[in-house]
Chains A and B, each alone.
Chain A
Amino acid sequence: NAGVMQNPRHLVRRRGQEARLRCSPMKGHSHVYWYRQLPEEGLKFMVYLQKENIIDESGMPKERFSAEFPKEGPSILRIQQVVRGDSAAYFCASSPKGTSSYEQYFGPGTRLTVT
């Protein structure tokens, strides 16, 4: 099992462009969490998804950010019209189920730089 995969590992975008971050959960995991780590801060929860469903998006900025986890393929975190303040490390984690009984396994993260 290769573990949680994220790509790209580094992404550079100019202000106003779109950023697409991908997360492939571990085999057999149907629950994905996205976290953002701004410079000098801890990881902050953004969104929790199951296959084809957004369960909790309470941590997502209201505009420009969206996430999906289709039936087939990776989970995608999409940021439209990026701004400098979006520069951060974005981590996803997966678990087999979304209950407190299961550990979350983290990917290596995508470092987004907005120039």
Chain B
Amino acid sequence: AQSVTQLGSHVSVSEGALVLLRCNYSSSVPPYLFWYVQYPNQGLQLLLKYTTGATLVKGINGFEAEFKKSETSFHLTKPSAHMSDAAEYFCAVSDQNSGYSTLTFGKGTMLLVSP
């Protein structure tokens, strides 16, 4: 089974600072990777995904992530944090169970942005 590990349950940054949220995956096959964002008491919204091709993936709201096979990583970055980026972020990998595809999520990282 595939899995993802998100390092750091909470990350704090100042407004305007670089955002870096870490995700490492474990996969026996080429992975398909996703980043989602969740605002309080809401569902998850897709930020970006990596399937094949270009390893630097750009998403919504100025976020991007780079797939590094040698490091089994898919870290999420944003050059300059906004107050509105405060939310919980989840990394996920596509998994297969009994021939069917599911998404396996990390435990999430809460991003706190201070003025």
Asked whether A and B interact, the reply is no
Measured CB to CB, the residues of A under 8 A from B are none
